[in-house]
Structure 1
Amino acid sequence: MRVLLSTYGTRGDVEPLVALAVRLRARGAEVRMCAPPDEEFAERLAGLGVSLVPVGPPVRELTRGTGLPSDAELARYRSELLDTQFALLPAALDGCDVLVAAGLAQIAARSVAEAAGVRYVYVSYAAVHLPSPHHAPPPRPGWPKPTETDNRTLWALDAELLDAQYAEQLNAHRAALGLPPVGTVRDHVLTDRPWLAADPAVGPWRTIPGLEVVQTGTWSLPDERPLPDDLLTFLDAGAPPVYVGFGSMSPARDIARGVIEALRAQGHRALVSRGWAGLGLIDDGDDCFAVGEVNHQRLFGRVAAVVHHGGAGTTVTAARAGVPQLLVTAPISDNPYWAGQVAELGVGAALEGPAPSAESLGVALENVLAPETRERARALAAEIRTDGAAVAAGLLMGDLRPA
């Protein structure tokens, strides 16, 4: 079997497909992946023997600075990415038996698969991206923020915004391929049987009529990399520190300072992850340490809590480690959803960014570091699955049936 995996986004969008690629290759499948051309993605895939088809501009172009591009720039990026997908996906799909598309940016994928007569599977990494009366749509940067509060109304408005951005352009490409026009772009991309690569214990799907969601569990791989010696020395030198990191997001300039000062006020050490924003320390105190890319699966078991941006991967990794979490989120994509889930499960707290006050940080950290929060986090860890990518690979290869 030959499989094409396609996504566009940051590391949190790419890594789940990497896990699926590894599981598919272990079953004898040939895998190639469409992803952004950022150097770290190219190196990651090359090391696994997975062919990369670069699509779109480097994602770091969109995440530079502490703010997003303007609304007009985002609209241009989306339009150009759609044209690029129609230009490159057909050749990438040649000889493949199935196309797995992750994320709503994959507007062209289903049409290309349809024209080639190839099976198409859409996957979301969070339930919030799938329409349901049980939750509102995620915030979409560059589009008007609605004032309505009814979830059904909000999803209808969300569909209208997607159609306004993509419908005319998408249907022009479909006509060029000899395909009929689509009605609602979002429903066309998602299909009526999308997959959900999220852990049922952390981000469950609530069944609704008309949408048959296949929840596989999170797609991840065991990480056996050892922690660096200098990091181990810091960890061994005192009580477990609090991890502070924002991944590929660009948080407010002084967020690291604010968290470190709040931790010091409560007598805790801090471990700062530089991330794409290049965060650093505020002084040379021996109660703080900065790290680059390290194994979170090993690290999170050694920390007192994890302060982060609310990415799906970081949220489930911290939950699997049984460690409390404080999510400092911007209103982007699924970040507020995961913040809400962590708070609802009682395994942490959430603050809306970009720069929470010192007082709110202090109160939130006290709650997160309370013994009862850690007890709930440990209990949740026992419920989390680790076989999501293997389950998905089995479904694609035809030797498993959906639950």
Structure 2
Amino acid sequence: MRVLLATWGSRGDVEPLLGLALELRAQGVDVRMCAPPDFAGRVAEGGVAFVPMGFAVRELVASKPSPVEVAAALVAQHFDVVGKAAEDCDAVVATGLMPAGVRSVAEHLGIPYVLACFHQLGIPSLRHRPGQRPGKPFPPGEADLRVLWKIDAERVDALYREPLNTRRAALGLPPVDNVRDHVLTSQPWLAADPVLWPLQDVLGFDVVQTGAWIMPDDRPLPADLVDFLEAGEPPVYVGFGSMQMAGAPAAAAVAVEAIRAQGRRALVSRGWADLALIDEKDDCFAVREANHRELFRRVAAVVHHGGAGTTTAAALAGAPQVIVPQIVDQPYWAQRVAALGIGAAHDGPTPAVESLSTALGLALRADTGARAEEVSSTIRTDGASVAARKLIDLIGQVPE
């Protein structure tokens, strides 16, 4: 049995899929991954067969192409790269930025297709508005969620329907009228922890919530990082992952000063924003890559952008959080962390020393730390295993 996992997006889209890949392999399934070339090394570390899909995410973000160009290019990659990689596979799992053509590939090959989401914002619901997309604006003051979700579908169609149906026609497949719902299928999977993101009021879909796909990570922390951790009280970690923080160029300086204002040491993760130390004082340390599962157990708090993976890792470690949300699902994660009492939501995407210090002061309170420890025991760690078993059952064949 062989499964293809396909995504195009940031690290937050790739790492959970790699967690599923490792679990599938543990259950006897051969796995192949299609993902952006940015993550070839990370996938190789897991020993999973890797097929680079198209253009590098980091380069594309920096070049700021039009959404129409990105949509057409992605559809082409789905049919050409994913299509070839899936030829000898028994099923395809897709996630990341609108995998519009992947279901068509599976349909053409006659194999099962699953769409997985790491948050609920792309799934129509009577509880929340659609996430941000380019295209037709919402009518001013419109509050009817059914109307807003209809416009959301129209936005997706405007970007993807023409290139998708052109490629489907070439394979002899009928046209698609509603690209968003076609991609989601009637039964999308939600790979998010039910405590951190409870499934609510879905509109017309039978969503399967598996729990978060957490990648096993037994990498030791770098020796110089361990030395820094052991040289004093637990520091506050700050990192913004794959966010380039163009709207907050002084994020590192602001964060370090806010951490110092709380009388704490600072641990700065460089990330795609290339955060750097602001001076040579010994109360700060910079790291490029580290095992979050191990590291977050040894810090006083985690300041981050609110990606699904970082939020889940910090919650699982029992580390209080401060989320400075930037895009898409991140404001929700910030609100949820605050609602659970395991951290604070910064007001807006651009931190100032005073505002971040205030949020950090809340996260560092003893009651917040105690609550974070309490909630950590409720976070499920079997999401990837649940998903792997469901996928094997869907294929209808137990591997020998």
Quick check: TM above 0.5? yes
Amino acid at match of 1:56: G
Could you tell me which residue of structure 1 aligns to residue 42 of structure 2?
Answer: 44
Q: Distance in 2 between matches of 1:167 and 1:5?
A: 23
Could you tell me which residue of structure 1 aligns to residue 219 of structure 2?
Answer: 225
Relative to structure 1, the CA distance from residue 44 to residue 259 in structure 2 (aligned partners, 3 Å threshold; closer, same or farther) is: closer
Q: Distance in 2 between matches of 1:186 and 1:335?
A: 21
Deviation for aligned residue 1:186: 0.4
Q: 1:126 aligns with which of 99, 119, 124?
A: 119
Amino acid at match of 1:344: A
SS at match of 1:329: coil
1:129/1:334 contact within 8 Å kept: no
Deviation for aligned residue 1:77: 1.7
Could you tell me which residue of structure 2 aligns to residue 115 of structure 1?
Answer: 108
Q: 1:135 aligns with which of 124, 128, 132?
A: 128
Q: Distance in 2 between matches of 1:355 and 1:47?
A: 34
2:19/2:216 contact within 8 Å kept: no
Q: 2:385 aligns with which of 380, 387, 390?
A: 390
SS at match of 1:307: strand
SS at match of 2:32: strand
Q: Distance in 1 between matches of 2:286 and 2:347?
A: 24
Q: Distance in 2 between matches of 1:216 and 1:82?
A: 27
Q: Distance in 1 between matches of 2:186 and 2:395?
A: 20
Could you tell me which residue of structure 1 aligns to residue 343 of structure 2?
Answer: 348
SS at match of 1:32: strand
Could you tell me which residue of structure 1 aligns to residue 186 of structure 2?
Answer: 192
Could you tell me which residue of structure 2 aligns to residue 300 of structure 1?
Answer: 296
Deviations 1:103-122 (A, max 9, x none): 34211001111111111111
Deviations 1:324-355 (A, max 9, x none): 1111121x222122112112212111224442
1:7/1:14 contact within 8 Å kept: yes
Relative to structure 1, the CA distance from residue 47 to residue 304 in structure 2 (aligned partners, 3 Å threshold; closer, same or farther) is: closer
SS at match of 1:129: coil
Q: Distance in 2 between matches of 1:179 and 1:400?
A: 22
2:320/2:364 contact within 8 Å kept: yes
1:203 aligns with 2:197: yes
1:381 aligns with 2:379: no
Q: 1:99 aligns with which of 92, 97, 111?
A: 92
1:63/1:249 contact within 8 Å kept: no
Q: Distance in 2 between matches of 1:364 and 1:124?
A: 29
Amino acid at match of 2:361: E
Deviation for aligned residue 1:100: 0.5
Q: 1:56 aligns with which of 51, 54, 57?
A: 54
Runs of 5+ unmatched residues, structure 1: none
Q: Distance in 2 between matches of 1:166 and 1:105?
A: 9
Relative to structure 1, the CA distance from residue 154 to residue 329 in structure 2 (aligned partners, 3 Å threshold; closer, same or farther) is: same
Deviation for aligned residue 1:279: 0.7
SS at match of 1:338: helix
SS at match of 2:116: strand
Could you tell me which residue of structure 2 aligns to residue 9 of structure 1?
Answer: 9
Could you tell me which residue of structure 2 aligns to residue 154 of structure 1?
Answer: 148
Q: Distance in 2 between matches of 1:399 and 1:80?
A: 30
SS at match of 2:311: helix
1:31 aligns with 2:36: no
Q: 1:276 aligns with which of 272, 278, 300?
A: 272
Q: Which moved more, 1:7-16 or 1:150-159?
A: 150-159
Deviations 1:62-91 (A, max 9, x none): 344xxxx54x52321221121222122221
Q: 1:82 aligns with which of 72, 75, 93?
A: 75
Runs of 5+ unmatched residues, structure 2: none
SS at match of 2:183: helix
**RMSD, aligned α-carbons:** 1.9
SS at match of 1:271: strand
1:359 aligns with 2:354: yes
SS at match of 2:66: helix
1:11/1:248 contact within 8 Å kept: yes
Q: Which moved more, 1:377-386 or 1:174-183?
A: 174-183
1:7/1:105 contact within 8 Å kept: no
Amino acid at match of 2:44: A
Deviation for aligned residue 1:42: 1.6
Could you tell me which residue of structure 2 aligns to residue 327 of structure 1?
Answer: 323
Deviation for aligned residue 1:365: 1.3
Q: Distance in 1 between matches of 2:37 and 2:214?
A: 21
SS at match of 1:12: helix
TM-score, length of structure 1 as denominator length: 0.93
TM-score, length of structure 2 as denominator length: 0.93
1:238 aligns with 2:236: no
Q: Distance in 2 between matches of 1:315 and 1:400?
A: 32
Deviations 1:112-169 (A, max 9, x none): 11111111111001122211111112223x4466344443332221111101111122
Q: Distance in 1 between matches of 2:117 and 2:297?
A: 27
Amino acid at match of 2:151: L
Q: Identity of aligned pairs, percent?
A: 56
Amino acid at match of 1:261: E
2:124/2:203 contact within 8 Å kept: no
1:166/1:185 contact within 8 Å kept: yes
Deviations 1:4-29 (A, max 9, x none): 11000111111111111111112221
Q: Distance in 2 between matches of 1:145 and 1:262?
A: 37
1:289 aligns with 2:271: no
2:268/2:277 contact within 8 Å kept: yes
1:391/1:400 contact within 8 Å kept: no
Deviation for aligned residue 1:241: 0.9
Could you tell me which residue of structure 1 aligns to residue 366 of structure 2?
Answer: 371
